[in-house]
Every structure is written in structure tokens, then in C-alpha cells.
Structure 1
Amino acid sequence: MKEFFANFFDKYGLSFIMVASYFGSGSIFIASQAGVEYGYVLIWAVIGAVLLGFMAQDMSARLGIYGDTLMTFIRKKLGKNGALALALFLSLGCIAWTLALTAAVGMSFEVLTGGAVSWQPLAVVTGIVAIIVGVLHYGYVEKVMTGMMFLLLVLYLVVAGANGPDMVEVAKGFIPAIPDTGAMLLGAAILGTTALWPNFFLESILVKRKGWNSDKHVKSMRTDLTMGYTVGGLITVAIIIVSAAVLRPAGYTELSTFVAPGEALEIVLGRWAMIVFLIGVIAAAFNSIVPIMWTIPYMILEALDIDHKEGSSKSFKLIFAGGILIGMFSPLVAKVTGLSVVEMITLFPAFNGVFGLPISAALLFWAMNDKKLMGANTNSWKLNAVNFILVLFSAYIAINSVQGVLGAIFGGMLS
């Protein structure tokens, strides 16, 4: 068995880091809301989002295998100053995410302990633990991320199976249907949480860790992505099934807070369901912090053409730790801005959807069609269509959301 796991992580495991980074507390809330409002109807949207996420990661991985990393491409096109400016701007989004995630972990522990310990100090402790995990040897981090993803899968499959969902209705959910505008928006939200822009940078960098650098490695890369995104998709589908089978019949029509699904499960199924839900939120939120914050030092050092020694250099670790030190002060940000934990959890990812996703999707599109970089391995017209849809989607979300998102984040500071 030990040899099996050793061989597994020699060949695979990268995709679980990618999936862990996108599957945070926001994903749990959005999937729960989809099940409460529309039952099993939006299961197909999860499948579509997983396929689009898979293809975006496939493009990023092929960029790293055949060409170069995404930030190195940007540096060669825009120069060091332009690349650094872009890296620093995108880093703000990673820090915002971490503020939301440390707050989510802290609040989950507060609820789990019945309010015995407030979320603020727990958010700071979460940041410290994330720094420790993030500076460990990459192989250990990969194992931790993979283990926690399977923990999430087991947790939600147990809760889903305990409720005997109508499998005929579940099967109907795989058939595309959009009953109203609200369903369309939730479907877009599911896609937005699955196509995570830091992964475009990370995958193109981390393929080197696996030794993937030629045609013969593409199959292993795609097998890895298939495993990771299958697990991520199953977890999301299980959350929708739980919400549709338990909360919707109990009369719930909306969820007001990110722990509301757990509170509702507790009323219907008992305290054990709430504990399972909170453990899942903690695992999902913490899982997201490390890979998202790895993106900052990778981007900055590659923008400056400084060797990060595959994440083991002193500079890499210092930038990584510094970013999380800022990100773990979510209690201070909450006090200054007047934002609640729930508002941080929803608004800060939205900030990334407005700025980080459209910029990164456009840059990936540019890189994958650069013949000088990719040669004969540039995007096919089918992959260009997928990437173009991602660019259009992210641009649409940004144009329609930018004013509301910035107003909601900074309104309390200005009032």
C-alpha cells in the first residue's frame, strides 16, 4: 500500500491542488443555494463547469509542457516592469481571497465550539498554520491537499446517502435546463468558482515539478486532471443533492449566511450533520489558502526573472509568508471596512471575478495562440472556442458587477 501511494504521487496529485484551490467556502455556499432554490436541476451546470475548468487547466498545463509559464510569457511580452505591475495587482486579489478564507475558517470554528472562542483570534491562527503548511516540501503539501479533498468527498457522500435522494430526479438534473434568470445566474456562479484564475499560473509552473515536459507526458497530465476534477465535481454534486433532498423539502428557499446550510441540516438531521458541514467548510477553506497564496511569489519572482527554485528559495518563502501575514488580519479588515464575515466571503471572491479572471483568461488565450511560443501546439479551434467563452463570460461578469462589488467593499469606509 505504501508503495502504491508513493507511485501515485510520483505520477499524479497536481490536479488535487488545483481543485483544492477553487473549492472553498464560497463553492459550498453556492452549491447549497443551487440545491435549495432549484433542487437537482443545476447538476448539469456542475458537469459543464468541471469540463470547462478541466479544459482551462489542460491549456495551462500544455503551456508549461510545450512553451513556458504564463508569467514568463507575460514578462517577455510586457517587460519586467509591466509584468511586475500586473503581478502585484493580481496579488491583491489573492490576499483578498485569503482574508475571506481565514475569516471562514475562524467563523466555522466559532460555530463549532458554540461561541466559546471568537472567530478573530482563530482567523490569525489559521494564517499561521497555513504559512507552516505552505513552506513544507511540495510533496507533503500535495499529499495534504489530496487527503483533505477525499475527506470532503466522503463527508458529503455520507450526508447525501443518509437522505435517500430520489435517483430518478437526480438523473434528470444531468439534462440541461434553465427554468429562470436566477438559475442562469447560479449556473454562472458555479462556473465562476470552478474556473479559478490563479490556477492558470500555477498549473503552467507546477507541471515542471512532475517532470512533464514532452508529448509523452500529456496523457499523465490529463489522467491527473480527470481524477482531480472528478472528485471536485462529485463533491459539488453531493452538496446539491444534500440541499435538494434535505433542505428544500423542509421548506428552505434561501440561505442567508455561509453556515446556514449547516444550521438547516442540524434542524432536520441533528447536530452530527452540522458538525460534518463545519468540518467540510474548514477543510475546504483552509485547502484553498496555500495554493492561492503560492501564486503571489511565483508571479512576482517570475515577473522579475528571479529563480524561485521551484518554490524552495528563501525569497519565495518570505513573499509567501508575508502575503499570508497580511491575509490573516481579516479581523482588522472587518473592523475598518465594516464588512461581516459573510460579506467578506462573498465579496472578496467577487473582486477576483471582476478583475483577476478576465485578465488571466485573456492572457492565457494570448499565450496559447502565440506560435513563436507554442509552435505546432497552439490551441485548436475547439479549445479556442472554449477559451473565448471563458474570456467573454468573465468580461460580462466584470462589466456588470464592478461598480456594485467595489461599492459594497469600500462603501463602509467612505460612509
Structure 2
Amino acid sequence: MIKSFFKKIGPGPLVAAAFIGPGTVTLCTIAGVEFGYVLLWALLLSIFATIILQEMAARLGIVTQKSLSETISAEIKQPLVRKLVLFLILSAIVVGNTAYEAGNISGGILGLETVFGNFKTSIGATSFNLWSLVVGFFAFIILFIGNYKVLERLLVGLVIIMSLAFLFTAVMVGPDIAGIFKGMVLPSLPDGSLLTVIGLIGTTVVPYNIFLHASLAKEKWQSTSDISTARTDTVVAVVVGGIVSMCIMICAASIDIASVNNASDLALALEPLFGVKAKYVLSIGLFAAGLTSAITAPLAAAYVAVGCMGWPQDLKSRHFRSVWIAILIIGVLSAASGVSSIEIIKFAQIANGLVLPLVAIILVRLVSQPHIMGRYVNSPLQRILAWTIVGVSLFLGLKGIFKVFGLI
């Protein structure tokens, strides 16, 4: 029975595990500490948007038996336009994944530092965090072997343990139920919350997950009769992941702390349940979440790159490996550079939120084309919902850019 259960599981849990990374733990905690329940609506919107977009990505992969980047390359006939679009996609995903990878590794570092303390060295005036090499080493070995499923399940299991802890804690802290529902259904933007909202969307609706989901779905399922199974797989995984994210924010809103600076601060959210051992529980979760996400980010970047360039999608090919190795190295160096781990993670989520509109527009247009999808094309309702999501993400993304450059 257990073996049959695992056979039915598709890429959905992998997608959920990718967005329940250290970025989610950190940013949801920051949002809860700084704004209470007020930004829960942003998570609810993100969950809904993730289900819509990830379902389309999986459906595209199953129907076309191509990755998203392969489909884009095949559908744009004008050479100059095709090169421009592929360049923008490559740039966006590589930049986004590099920032995200630094955040993933930094999350793993927070977990290790909480238990073992600092592990740094100095070269001249520059300080380097050597824990980044440890996290990077584990990710490298798993990716290089190319058979990471068993270890990935172990890591996802560790993240689930942490997730259950937040779920139980969210109940035990005695949250304000009325305040939670108000925060979920009444959107508001308190002063200084815009970039946090964009980050919350970016930590849930992860652009690289859209590419990764299409690639993994076509490998898992080869028949259109499996679309219903893929849809259920996606909905269940994303809803569970979204509930976990909300529980983290609810826990953080219930703790008495002025700001979040390190893993010990985040551990306070678990203290009502685990007491002084909270930091050890959280450290396991953060390390597992960081390492799991440190695998999926370079993997997705490699899928995008080889698809855009027309290279074989072989996990052990030279081209495939060269892409993820480059992303991993840059992520390790960024995380080791001494920049605040919290700031790297926040930047990674904001970068994802700004890249999202570009990826979403391309996906929606492709899945709305009858000559690509046949009778599995988007329905009128799906198109309306998808373009609404694109509009909201584009609006928030532009406001975020203007905010960063001081134009508003």
C-alpha cells in the first residue's frame, strides 16, 4: 500500500518542498513579527495563484511532452524575437535562481550555526562563512550523483516534521481567530509592507518552479489521461504548503519580539511547544529546507538553460551539469561573503516576485493556444483567472521596482 502510494505521488510535493524553504520560514516570520495577521491575504492569494500556474505548467508538460523552455523555443518562429525572449528568460531565471540559491544556502547555514555556532575564516579584510561550503558540498554530491530521490524524500520528511511543529504551535499559541480571518479576506498594505508582500508572493509562486514542474511532469506522466492525477497532486501539495506558510506567520505574530535577526529569533516561534530545545528543532528544519531548495534551484536553472539552448535534458550531461554547478558555486560564494543571511533571503524572495510576471505571461499565452494544447487548452474561466493573477503580480512587481528606486 505504501509503495503504491509513493508511485502516485508526482512533482507536487517537490514543488511544495521547494517553496517551503528557508525563505518561507524567514519571510513569513518577519511578516508575522512586523505586521501580525495583516498580510495573511497575500499568502492566500499566493496559494491560489500557485495552484493555477503550477497546474498549467504540469498540463503543458504532459500534453506536449516538452519542457516549458523547449515549447517557447519551438513556438517563436521569428529568429530575432526568439533569441530576445530566450535571453530574457535565461537572464531572469539565472539571476533569480542565483539569488534564491544564496538564500537557500544561507538558510542551511542558519540551521548549522544555531547548533554548532559560527564557522568563519578571514582572508585579508574579508570574512567567509565556511558553513556555506558544507551546505554546498552536500548539494553538489546529491546533484552530481543524479540519484537524489531517496535523500530528497528524507529531506522533505525533515521539512514536514518542522511544518507539523509550526501547525501544532499555531494552535497552542492561542491565536486570534477573528484577526486571522480578517487578515485573510481584507487586503491592506500597511506602511513599509509592499516589498514584504512581493516577497511573500515570490516565496510561494516561485518562477523557477513553473519550469521545473513542466519538466518533471512530462517525465512522470506520458498520457493525457494522467492530467487529472497531476491536478490533484498539485492542488493537495500546494494547499498543504500554503497552510504551513500561514501557520508560520501566525506563530510569529504571537511571539513577543521586536525584530528577526537570526535563527535563534525564529526559534522563539516554536518555544511554546518545544521549550529550550526549540532552536534544535528549527535548526534541523532550516538545514533540511535549505538543502532541499539548494538542490531544486540549480536543477530548475539547468532545465531552463538546456531547453533554451536545445541541449539534451540528461541529468548527467556536460551541459546540464555545467549550469547547475555554476549556480551552486555562485550561491555558495554569495552566502559565504558575510552579507546578512536574513537580507540575502529577503532579496531572493523579492527578486522572485519581480520575475514572476514575465514567466506567468509566457506560460498563460502558451497554454491558451489550441494548436499546442489541443482540447486541453485553457478554458475561458482559467484564462480569466490566469490573466487576473498576471495583472496583480505585474502591478505589485512594478510598484516594487518603483519603491526600490525611490520613485514612489
| TM-score in terms of structure 1 length | 0.83
Q: For residues 25 and 138 of structure 1, what CA distance do their matches in structure 2 show?
A: 20
Aligned to 1:62: 59
Contact 1:43/1:237, CA 8 A, preserved across alignment: yes
Letter in 1 for 2:69: M
Q: For residues 237 and 82 of structure 1, what CA distance do their matches in structure 2 show?
A: 39
Aligned to 1:96: 99
**Cα drift, residue 149 of structure 1:** 3.5
Aligned to 1:329: 333
Contact 2:43/2:242, CA 8 A, preserved across alignment: yes
Contact 2:268/2:278, CA 8 A, preserved across alignment: no
Aligned to 2:236: 227
Letter in 2 for 1:21: A
Contact 2:301/2:324, CA 8 A, preserved across alignment: yes
**Cα drift, residue 197 of structure 1:** 0.5
Contact 2:298/2:323, CA 8 A, preserved across alignment: no
Aligned to 1:412: none
Count of residue pairs the alignment pairs up: 391
Give the direction of change, closer, same or farther, for the CA distance of 1:397–1:262 in structure 2 (3 Å limit): same
Q: For residues 209 and 142 of structure 1, what CA distance do their matches in structure 2 show?
A: 17
Residues 4-41 of structure 1 deviation map (CA, whole Å, 9 limit, x = unaligned): 33322322141111112222222112322333345445
Q: What is the 5 A alignment of 1:102-141?
A: 102-115=105-118, 120-135=129-144, 136-137=146-147, 139-140=149-150
Aligned to 2:387: 388
Aligned to 2:46: 49
Aligned to 1:240: 249
Aligned to 1:213: 223
Give the direction of change, closer, same or farther, for the CA distance of 1:16–1:173 in structure 2 (3 Å limit): farther
Letter in 2 for 1:387: A
What is the DSSP-based 3-state SS (H/G/I as helix, E as strand, rest coil) of the residue aligned with 2:388?
A: helix
Most deviating of 167-176 and 83-92: 167-176
Give the direction of change, closer, same or farther, for the CA distance of 1:63–1:20 in structure 2 (3 Å limit): same
What is the DSSP-based 3-state SS (H/G/I as helix, E as strand, rest coil) of the residue aligned with 2:346?
A: helix
Any unmatched runs of 5+ in structure 1? 408-415
Contact 2:105/2:332, CA 8 A, preserved across alignment: yes
| Aligned: 1:317 with 2:317 | no
Contact 1:33/1:255, CA 8 A, preserved across alignment: yes
Letter in 2 for 1:282: F
Contact 1:25/1:258, CA 8 A, preserved across alignment: no
Contact 2:29/2:266, CA 8 A, preserved across alignment: no
Any unmatched runs of 5+ in structure 2? 122-127
Q: For residues 87 and 41 of structure 1, what CA distance do their matches in structure 2 show?
A: 34
What is the DSSP-based 3-state SS (H/G/I as helix, E as strand, rest coil) of the residue aligned with 1:328?
A: helix
Give the direction of change, closer, same or farther, for the CA distance of 1:262–1:109 in structure 2 (3 Å limit): same
**Cα drift, residue 194 of structure 1:** 1.0
Aligned to 1:376: 375
**Cα drift, residue 312 of structure 1:** 4.2
Give the direction of change, closer, same or farther, for the CA distance of 1:164–1:346 in structure 2 (3 Å limit): closer
Aligned to 2:308: 303
Contact 1:152/1:284, CA 8 A, preserved across alignment: no
Aligned to 1:353: 353
Aligned to 1:291: 296
Q: For residues 187 and 193 of structure 2, what CA distance do their matches in structure 1 show?
A: 6
Residues 189-245 of structure 1 deviation map (CA, whole Å, 9 limit, x = unaligned): 43332111011111111112212431x211211221133113212211221232233
Contact 2:108/2:290, CA 8 A, preserved across alignment: yes
Contact 1:243/1:261, CA 8 A, preserved across alignment: no
Most deviating of 268-277 and 228-237: 268-277
Give the direction of change, closer, same or farther, for the CA distance of 1:331–1:207 in structure 2 (3 Å limit): closer
Give the direction of change, closer, same or farther, for the CA distance of 1:72–1:289 in structure 2 (3 Å limit): same
What is the DSSP-based 3-state SS (H/G/I as helix, E as strand, rest coil) of the residue aligned with 1:181?
A: coil
Q: For residues 83 and 166 of structure 1, what CA distance do their matches in structure 2 show?
A: 47
Q: For residues 45 and 399 of structure 2, what CA distance do their matches in structure 1 show?
A: 22
Contact 1:110/1:117, CA 8 A, preserved across alignment: no
What is the DSSP-based 3-state SS (H/G/I as helix, E as strand, rest coil) of the residue aligned with 2:174?
A: coil
Q: For residues 197 and 326 of structure 2, what CA distance do their matches in structure 1 show?
A: 35
Most deviating of 315-324 and 60-69: 315-324
Residues 286-307 of structure 1 deviation map (CA, whole Å, 9 limit, x = unaligned): 2211111111221121112222
Letter in 2 for 1:292: A
Structure 1 vs Structure 2 CA RMSD: 3.0
Q: For residues 291 and 312 of structure 2, what CA distance do their matches in structure 1 show?
A: 28
Residues 265-293 of structure 1 deviation map (CA, whole Å, 9 limit, x = unaligned): 48877422232233322222222111111
Most deviating of 282-291 and 360-369: 282-291
Q: For residues 280 and 348 of structure 2, what CA distance do their matches in structure 1 show?
A: 26
